[in-house]
Amino acid sequence: MYIPTYDDVLAARERIRPYIHQTPVLTSEYLNELTGAELFFKCENFQKAGAFKVRGACNAVFGLSAEQAGNGVATHSSGNHALSLSYAAGRRGIKAWVVMPHTAPDAKKAAVRSYDGEISECGPSMAQREAMLKELVSRTGADFVHPYNDHRVIAGQATCSLELHEEIGALDTVVAPIGGGGMISGTCLTMSNISPDTKIYAAEPKNADDAYRSFRAGTIIEDDAPQTVADGLKVSLRPLTWHFVSRYVADVLLVTEQEIIDAMYLTWQRMKIVIEPSSSVALATIMKNQELFAGKRVGVIVTGGNVDLKNLPWINN
C-alpha cells in the first residue's frame, strides 16, 4: 500500500491546476456569533463539477500514461466522484464508466451523463457496487480509480486544505465530513506537514456512523448501505484512508439527520450559497459541539453543492 506524501500533493496541485477552480473562502458574521468561533468556509460547492472530488479525479486521470489511459477509467460512486471522474475523463478525451446505485440522486446521474460518463446501475450495497465494477473493468480494461482508497485521489483532495492554509494562515481546527475518508485523509496529509498543531475533526451522520465506531474500536468497521440524507457519506473507510484517520484525526463527531438538514437550511438562508446535505454535516457538528470550537479559528470544508432542487430535504421532512 503506497502512502502518498506531501511531495505528491505539490505535484498534484501543478497537474490539476488547468482543470479546477481555486475555490473561495467565505465567512459569515452571523454563523461566527452563533457558534462563538471564527469560521472559514472553503467552498468546494463552487468547484468544477460541483464538488471537491474533481481534484482527486483529475490527479488520477491526468497522471495516467497514454498507454494506461487508452482503455479509459472506471469507478463506483453514489454521485460526486462519478461525475468528477466523468468530467476529468472528458477533458482528457477518454471514456469513463461508472457504477452507481439505483438510489443515487437523479441530479447526480444527470450530471454524469452530461459529462458523457456511461452509467451502470446496481443495488445500494457496497458488495453490489464492487461486483459490478469488477465485471466492468474485466470487460473494458479500464483503469480503476477508487473514490477514496487511492493514493492519487487522496493527494488530489489534499490540495483543498493546502489552498485554505495558504489563503487564511494557521488554523486551530479543521472540520470536514467523513464517508470513505478521501477528503479527511487529504486534510490530514496536508496539515500534518504544514500545520501539525491544527486539530482535525471528522463530522459524520449518526445514521452512518461506521467511522465513529471504527475510530473507537481501533479497526475498520463497515456499514453496508446505511440510510442518511447525506448521500455522499454512506460508504465505509478502507485501509489507505484508515491509515490517515487513525493517526491524525482528533475525533469523529456525530450529528442527527435533523441537525444536518437544519445546518444545510441555515447555510442556504444566511450565506446564500447552495450546499448539499453531506456538506452541511461539518457546520452541524460545530453547532452541536460549541465547547470544542468556541474562540477558535476553524476551517470548514464545504465539500459540494450538487443538490436535487426538486427534492430538498426540508420540504420532505
By percentage, how much of the chain surpasses pLDDT 70? 99
All cell numbers assigned to 249: 484525526
- pLDDT of 15 above 90: yes
Outline which parts of the chain fall under CATH 3.40.50.1100. Answer: 6-51+151-302, 54-144
Residue 302 β-bridge partners:
43
All cell numbers assigned to 54: 474533481
Count of residues making up the chain: 317
- pLDDT of 284 above 90: yes
**Tens digit of each residue's pLDDT (9 = 90 or more) over 176-221:** 999 999 999 999 999 999 999 999 999 999 999 999 999 999 999 9
Cα(312)–Cα(216) distance, rounded to whole angstroms?
33
- C-alpha to C-alpha distances, 58 to 33, 161, 266, nearest whole angstrom: 37, 17, 32
Residue 121 β-bridge partners:
100
- Whole-number pLDDT of residue 316: 61
* CATH code of domain 54-144: 3.40.50.1100
How does strand 38-43 pair with strand 25-26? antiparallel
- pLDDT of 108 above 90: no
Of 44, 48, 46, which is closest to residue 17 (Cα–Cα)? 48
All cell numbers assigned to 127: 458488495
* Least confident piece of the model among 9-23, 37-51, 66-80: 66-80
Q: 114 by DSSP, 3-state: which?
A: helix
Cα(134)–Cα(191) distance, rounded to whole angstroms?
34
Strand order in the sheet with 143-144: 118-122, 96-101, 73-76, 143-144
- Whole-number pLDDT of residue 306: 87
User: Cα dihedral sign for 40, 41, 46, 48?
Assistant: positive
* pLDDT grade for 35, boundaries at 50, 70 and 90: very high
For the residues 229-251, what does the mean pLDDT come to?
A: 95
**Tens digit of each residue's pLDDT (9 = 90 or more) over 225-236:** 789 999 889 889
- pLDDT of 317 above 60: no
**Tens digit of each residue's pLDDT (9 = 90 or more) over 57-92:** 999 999 999 999 999 999 998 788 999 999 999 999
- Whole-number pLDDT of residue 64: 97
- Whole-number pLDDT of residue 197: 97
- pLDDT of 8 above 90: yes
All cell numbers assigned to 292: 470544542
Fold assignment, 6-51+151-302: Rossmann fold (3.40.50)
Determine phi and psi for 240, rounding to 5 degrees. Answer: -70, -45
Of 194, 160, 222, which is closest to residue 25 (Cα–Cα)? 160
For the residues 137-156, what does the mean pLDDT come to?
A: 96
DSSP for 116-143 reads TPEEEEE-SSHHHHHHHHHHHHHHH-PE
For the residues 250-273, what does the mean pLDDT come to?
A: 97
Give the chain's mean pLDDT.
95
The DSSP H or E segment spanning 240 is: helix 239-248
Beta strands (DSSP E) in the chain are 25-26, 38-43, 73-76, 96-101, 118-122, 143-144, 173-177, 199-205, 249-255, 297-302
Query: Buried (b) or exposed (e) across 251-265, using 16+ Cβ within 10 A?
Result: ebbbbebebbbbbbe
Cα(164)–Cα(162) distance, rounded to whole angstroms?
5
- C-alpha to C-alpha distances, 207 to 2, 36, 309, nearest whole angstrom: 31, 27, 23
CA angle 117, 228, 112 (to 5 degrees): 10
